[in-house]
Structure 1
Amino acid sequence: MTDTRVAIVTGAARGIGAATAVRLAREGFAVAVCDLDEAACADTVETITKDGGTALAVGVDVADTARADAAVARVAAELGPPLVLVNNAGITRDNLLFKMSDDDWDAVLSVHLRGSFVMTRAAQAHMTKAGWGRIVNLSSVSALGNRGQVNYSAAKAGLQGFTKTLAIELGRFGVTANAIAPGFIATEMTAATAARVGVDFEDFKAAAAREIPVRRVGVPEDIAGTVAFLVGDDASFVSGQVIYVAGGPRA
């Protein structure tokens, strides 16, 4: 590994992405905090810098090739070559199949799947040149199927195949690729789901916890800790894996 430790985290303005960016900064990485709205990254950047870390806010539409390429180039120029990429950016457009529009399908597949592809293609050049790299893609237990999420489930399942293929192609260059499949994590996204179905969020979390073997819902830091392991040297022989961080084998 080179002396420069730079990580890119997409969707890092809030939730899992923000927690991951903060954790990686504490692990010694300079972190590019990426989100669609650069201004929205300010809180995450401030949290990192107040703790003595280095962070750069970067606005990027991950599904736009030119903007993604420009964002990675900016990170390389201002922080150093990015050798860690966490593809976390995502959206939901939930609906039952017969109600789902083309736009709802395309939007979700574009951000999750195309976005991860475009960002990875740009970042891997720096990793292969350095002979060391770590890619972590955020999948979901919804990859196993979830009512009202045919688009999201397809995208998250696609990321698992994407990850395994990256591991095969990039392993010879010292680059590992793994996916994390979170279960129920308390974030703004799950709060929005509760609101959509008309359930109080605390009740929503309590009901979910009753179905999870460890009897609690997850928090963003649960995922950030798993990312920290996967991008570290202790995980150098772990690649092409999908790790379900869900409080049980399926949650």
Structure 2
Amino acid sequence: MFSMNQKVIVITGGTGILGGSFVKGVCEAGGTAVILGRNQAEGDERVRQVKEAGGEALFIQADVLNESDLQKACDQVLNTYGKVNGLVNAAGGNIPEAVIGPDADIFTIDIPALRKAFDLNLFGTILPTTIFGKAIAAGNEKGSIVNISSMAAQTAITRVLGYSMAKAAIDNFTRWMAVELANRYGDKIRMNAIAPGFFITHQNRRLLTNEDGSYTSRGEAVIRSTPYKRFGEPDELVGTLLWLLGDGTGFVTGEVICVDGGFHVFSGV
């Protein structure tokens, strides 16, 4: 029910830490991973690792905010494999300039930085959806699109204003698009999202941990608010991803699934 056998799954941000786990998980489940990212060397290395393990993967250098890049990538996928079965919108992340420090004037906000956060996270999800989603719709098989939300969209998390608002918009887009896809295509294309809890990535490592590996004050606050009392491991997202991409969830759409060690349900008491 949740096999990726014979499925071609496009993964944006596939050169990142979470994206890397997604690529590995899809390929281990029998699927073909098409890795989209800007880092050619990292992308080539991901493909090498997959093929060394007996899987199939393709890296295409592309910027998720460049419509021409995405269209060329889609054309290459269709020319190579003849179809697209799924899309994982994993590209995104925090923008340092859009962070509001604890001592900053909250009435002096860097508006261009907020726009940059929206571009990367929201429009970096919408643009791939419009191009690869169209390819899914034109194909002969059913497909699934999975967006990446965040705990920052569930509750107010200090400092990361631009990131939080952009991820909240992704939640809304997920629900809106799921309904519109169903109205137009029935159950052919589903859209859902995963809201990860706190996972250590390149972008938040210095916010959550010190150079010696100990927690920063922010990292300690996260751990106190997480019932599991630890950060998540990237591979712990893979099961939910495969569940949402697989045929076994054919009646699931418009959902945001939290994978967070209990963070969003914990009152702190």
> TM-score normalised to the size of structure 2?
0.85
Task: Tell me how far apart the structure 2 counterparts of residues 93 and 174 of structure 1 sit (CA, whole Å).
Answer: 35
- Which one of 120, 142, 147 corresponds to residue 132 of structure 1? 142
Aligned to 2:244: 230
Q: Secondary structure at the match of 1:58?
A: strand
Separation of aligned partners in 2, 1:142 and 1:166: 21
Report the equivalent of 1:103.
112
Q: CA deviation at 1:194?
A: 3.4
Output aligned runs, 1:149-228, within 5 Å.
Answer: 149-171=160-182, 172-194=186-208, 201-204=213-216, 208-228=222-242
How many Å separate the matches in 1 of 2:131 and 2:187? 15
Q: Secondary structure at the match of 2:191?
A: strand
User: Equivalent residue for 2:103?
Assistant: none
Distance in 2, Cα, partners of 1:215 & 1:168 = 36
Are residues 1:31 and 2:42 paired? no
Read off the aligned partner of 2:150 and give its amino acid letter: S
State yes or no: 1:6 paired with 2:8. Answer: yes
1:201 deviation in Å?
4.0
Residue 76 of structure 1, CA deviation: 1.7
- Matched AA of 1:202: S
SS at match of 1:71: helix
Separation in structure 1 between the aligned mates of residue 243 and residue 187 of structure 2, nearest angstrom: 20
Task: Name the CA distance, whole Å, in 2 between partners of 1:229 and 1:132.
Answer: 15
For 2:225 and 2:13, the matched residues in 1 are separated by: 28
Gaps of 5+ in 1: none
Alignment of 1:46-125 (within 5 A): 46-94=48-96, 95-96=99-100, 97-98=106-107, 100-125=109-134
Letter of the 1:142 partner, please give it: A
Query: Which residue of structure 2 aligns with residue 148 of structure 1?
Result: 159
Is the contact between residue 83 and residue 123 of structure 1 (CA under 8 Å) also seen in structure 2? Answer: no
Amino acid in the other structure paired with 1:141: M
Map of 1:15 onto structure 2? 17
Where 2:231 maps in the other structure, the secondary structure is coil
CA contact (8 A) 1:132 1:173 kept: yes
The one-letter code sitting in structure 1 at the alignment partner of 2:145 is I
Cα root mean square deviation, aligned:
2.2
Q: 1-side partners of 2:176 and 2:27: how far apart? A: 28
In structure 1, what is the Cα distance between the partners aligned to 2:22 and 2:187? 25
1:177 offset after TM fit, Å? 0.6
| Post-superposition offset of 1:98 | 4.6
- Quote the sequence identity (%): 28
In 2, the alpha carbon distance for the partners of 1:37 and 1:173 equals 35
Tell me how many residue pairs correspond in the alignment.
Answer: 249
Q: Given that residues 116 and 137 in structure 1 are in contact (C-alpha distance below 8 angstroms), is that contact kept between their aligned partners in structure 2?
A: yes
Tell me the SS of whatever aligns to 1:202.
Answer: coil
Q: Separation in 1 of the partners of 2:125 and 2:231?
A: 26
2:178–2:191: 8 Å Cα contact kept in structure 1?
A: yes
Question: 1:207 Cα shift?
Answer: 5.2
Change (3 A) 1:206 1:225: farther
Distance 1:113 1:151 in 2: 11
- Distance apart, 1:173 and its partner CA: 4.7
Instruction: List per-residue Cα deviations over 1:151-190 (Å, max 9, x = no partner).
Output: 1011100101111122112231511110111110122222
Q: Quick one: distance in 1 between partners of 2:18 and 2:57?
A: 17
- Partner of 2:91, secondary structure, is coil
TM-score, length-scaled by structure 1:
0.91
> 1:5–1:82: 8 Å Cα contact kept in structure 2?
yes
The answer to whether the Cα contact below 8 Å between 2:12 and 2:36 also exists between their aligned partners in 1 is: yes
